[in-house]
Amino acid sequence: MMSVKIIIPTALRQHTDDKDELQLNSKDVKSALQELVTAFPDLRSYLYSDNGRLRNFINLYLNEEDVRYLQGEETTLKDGDVLMIVPAVAGGAPGHDYQGPSFSPSEFARYSRHLIMPEVGLEGQKALKNSSVLIVGAGGLGTPSAMYLVAAGVGRVGIVDFDDIEKSNLHRQVLYSEEDVGRSKSEVAKERLLKVNPNVSIELHKLRLDSSNALDILKDYDIVMDGTDNFPTRYLVNDACVLLGKPNVYASIFRFEGQASVFYAKEGPCYRCLYPEPPPAGLVPSCAEGGVLGVLPGIMGSIQAAEAIDLILGKGTPLIGRLLLFDALDMKFKELKLRKNPDCPVCGEHPTVKALIDYEAFCGVKDESDEVKEMTAGALKRLIDAGDDVFLLDVREPSEYEMARIEGARLIPLGELPQRINELDTADDIVVYCHSGQRSAQAVHLLSGMGFKKAKNLKGGIVAWMEQLDSGARTR
């Protein structure tokens, strides 16, 4: 006789004194079942027909393998084996056939660790397969959350992203590899996710989400997951979710710190209740400008996936009305209570935002491409090689300057520029650069307003200089 564990499904536990697993000593599957129904006689009619044959709506899995593809009830057992009973048909009213999703033997094996959990079980796995989640942004947050949602069996996953993969993405966006640089994020994501689980549907929206298309895209999904990296899109996703009555599973990251919550206006506050107004443009740097610990978005994206699954299953206590703060440097979590703002313009008692607005204008972000004079890395290289007199101004922080800089550049961090403007000459041809071109664009605006008409922004910053030319930058 071998010691084996037999897992009882939720639907049958009323006949086993609510026991979800039992330890039996049996030589094969048949004797294990006989021992089970001897101990709990009420189970017999559920497992066996009147002629003693195992009912055809009962599946048996031994260590994740369907016993029908082994030796059936004659399959021998060994110490430590796990035998799981999985009713093939469950739920619904008596006399009615269940019309929900069905599972192949391969899917039963894949989801076996879910099926034996009372909080999930067969009904929960069906709910996951019948659900849909839209992920806005296939970046640091979107890639880990997408992998876990797909692996968990969420039936339909949508991805909104129009970017291509860059080398700087690879330290945190774990769905992509070196060979993918230059390819579409959403297309590569679909390829990889279908390898994780071919039983799900991946839908791509290769476009920029804006006020003209957001409602049409979001309305077809049960849950929206915010993996964005800019304030206009974050407010857009929030307002669209409120107007559509969708839960918005939120996370944000910066350097070593992360935030997570679930904004669901039907049951709690929305994003605008927490942050009624965005910060001034340029005050809060993006990950491209400020950096981010590579593992951080994996942690926060996994939290988002867990929250989405809890919402689908209707289990646990989701982060509605709570803001979870995580500090990866000190490895600490902190939780803050959020309250619904009765004066919130979108979800309050008397909302004034009843349609999507211009979120670029709301966040103070303008299309400044025509206002900022720019110079490409190639053009700058030609000027330097020709010996032209060019004043290079680096507006990054000293720590960035020490790691990599263009030889001969003067360092004046952006925050110090107004006080040190006297160090510059309005007659000079000034080329300003930062990491990727955002801070330097602000610097050029500042300089232009103070009479420096010949100041230009290095398009793409030092990243473009190093990637396009692979020379001329001094690194330490």
Query: Is-contact 7 84, C-beta < 8 A?
Result: yes
For 393: left if phi > 0, alpha if psi spans -120 to 50, otherwise beta; the answer is: beta
pLDDT, one tens digit per residue, over 174-214 is 999 999 999 999 999 999 999 999 999 999 999 999 999 99
pLDDT, one tens digit per residue, over 213-230 is 999 999 999 999 999 988
Model confidence at 159: pLDDT above 70: yes
Query: Is-contact 153 107, C-beta < 8 A?
Result: yes
Average pLDDT over residues 52-58: 77
CA nearest to 225, candidates 248, 259, 193, 253: 248
Mean pLDDT lowest for which of 320-334, 354-368, 424-438, 457-471? 354-368
Given this model, what pLDDT does residue 96 score?
38
Measured CA to CA in angstroms, residue 47 lies from 5, 59, 115, 131, 234 at distances of 17, 10, 18, 30, 52
pLDDT, one tens digit per residue, over 84-115 is 877 643 333 333 344 457 788 888 888 888 98
In this structure, CATH architecture of domain 131-362? 3-Layer(aba) Sandwich (3.40)
Which homologous superfamily does the CATH classification assign to the domain defined by 374-475? Rhodanese-like domain (3.40.250.10)
Which homologous superfamily does the CATH classification assign to the domain defined by 2-100? Beta-grasp domain (3.10.20.30)
What are 292's strand-pairing partners? 255
Give CA–CA dist 166/169, Å, rounded.
5
Given this model, what pLDDT does residue 263 score?
96
pLDDT, one tens digit per residue, over 404-419 is 889 899 999 988 888 8
Give CA–CA dist 157/121, Å, rounded.
21
Model confidence at 6: pLDDT above 90: no
Predicted confidence band at 234 (pLDDT cuts at 50, 70, 90)? very high
Give CA–CA dist 133/136, Å, rounded.
10
Query: Is-contact 407 476, C-beta < 8 A?
Result: no
347 is catalytic: no
Average pLDDT over residues 53-79: 82
Q: Is the C-alpha dihedral spanning 105, 109, 115, 120 positive or negative?
A: negative
Helix (H) or strand (E) holding 141: none
Average pLDDT over residues 361-377: 71
| Model-wide pTM > 0.75 | no
DSSP H helical segments within 197-285, as ranges? 214-218, 231-244, 271-274
Q: What is the mean pLDDT of the chain?
A: 86
CA nearest to 321, candidates 389, 261, 243: 261
| Ranges of CATH 3.40.250.10 domains, the chain | 374-475
Given this model, what pLDDT does residue 97 score?
41
Model confidence at 2: pLDDT above 50: yes
Average pLDDT over residues 340-354: 93
For 314: left if phi > 0, alpha if psi spans -120 to 50, otherwise beta; the answer is: left
Given this model, what pLDDT does residue 90 score?
36
**For the chain, first and last CA: distance in Å?**
67
Query: Token pair of 105, please?
Result: 């033997």
Given this model, what pLDDT does residue 135 score?
97
434 is catalytic: yes
Average pLDDT over residues 329-345: 92
pLDDT, one tens digit per residue, over 267-323 is 999 999 988 888 765 555 556 556 788 899 999 999 999 999 999 999 999 999 999
Average pLDDT over residues 114-122: 87
What are 303's strand-pairing partners? none
* φ, ψ of residue 29 in degrees (nearest 5): -60, -40
Average pLDDT over residues 380-394: 90
- The alpha carbon of 470 is separated from its chain's Cα centroid by a whole number of angstroms, namely 33
Query: Token pair of 62, please?
Result: 């031994």
Given this model, what pLDDT does residue 87 score?
62
| Ranges of CATH 3.10.20.30 domains, the chain | 2-100
Given this model, what pLDDT does residue 230 score?
85
Model confidence at 476: pLDDT above 90: no
**Neighbour count for residue 129 (Cβ, 10 Å):** 21
Model confidence at 369: pLDDT above 60: no
Given this model, what pLDDT does residue 395 score?
92
* φ, ψ of residue 223 in degrees (nearest 5): -135, 140
Query: Is-contact 290 436, C-beta < 8 A?
Result: no
**Which of these is catalytic: 241, 270, 347, 434?**
434
174-183 CB contacts, 8 Å cutoff, 24+ apart: 174/143, 174/144, 174/147, 174/298, 175/138, 175/143, 175/144, 175/146, 175/147, 176/143
Which residues lie closer than 8 Å to 34 by C-beta, 6 or more apart?
A: none
Given this model, what pLDDT does residue 80 score?
87
Query: Token pair of 403, please?
Result: 């790691």
Q: Under DSSP, is residue 297 helix (H, G, I), strand (E, B) or coil?
A: helix
Percent of the chain whose predicted confidence (pLDDT) is above 70 = 91
According to DSSP, residue 388 is labeled -
Q: Under DSSP, is residue 244 helix (H, G, I), strand (E, B) or coil?
A: helix
CA nearest to 84, candidates 117, 56, 39: 117
Give CA–CA dist 138/75, Å, rounded.
45
pLDDT, one tens digit per residue, over 241-256 is 999 999 999 999 888 8
Length, in residues, of the chain: 476
Which residues lie closer than 8 Å to 351 by C-beta, 6 or more apart?
A: 344, 345
Given this model, what pLDDT does residue 474 score?
46
Model confidence at 142: pLDDT above 90: yes
Given this model, what pLDDT does residue 280 score?
63
Give CA–CA dist 291/297, Å, rounded.
12
Query: Is-contact 363 281, C-beta < 8 A?
Result: yes
Percent composition of the chain: helix, strand, coil (DSSP 3-state, to 5):
35, 20, 45
Given this model, what pLDDT does residue 94 score?
36
Look-up of token digits 């009904």: 123
Model confidence at 17: pLDDT above 80: yes
Give CA–CA dist 428/437, Å, rounded.
20
**Which of these is catalytic: 273, 287, 344, 347?**
287
Given this model, what pLDDT does residue 475 score?
42
Largest CA-CA distance found in the chain, in angstroms, rounded: 100
| Ranges of CATH 3.40.50.720 domains, the chain | 131-362
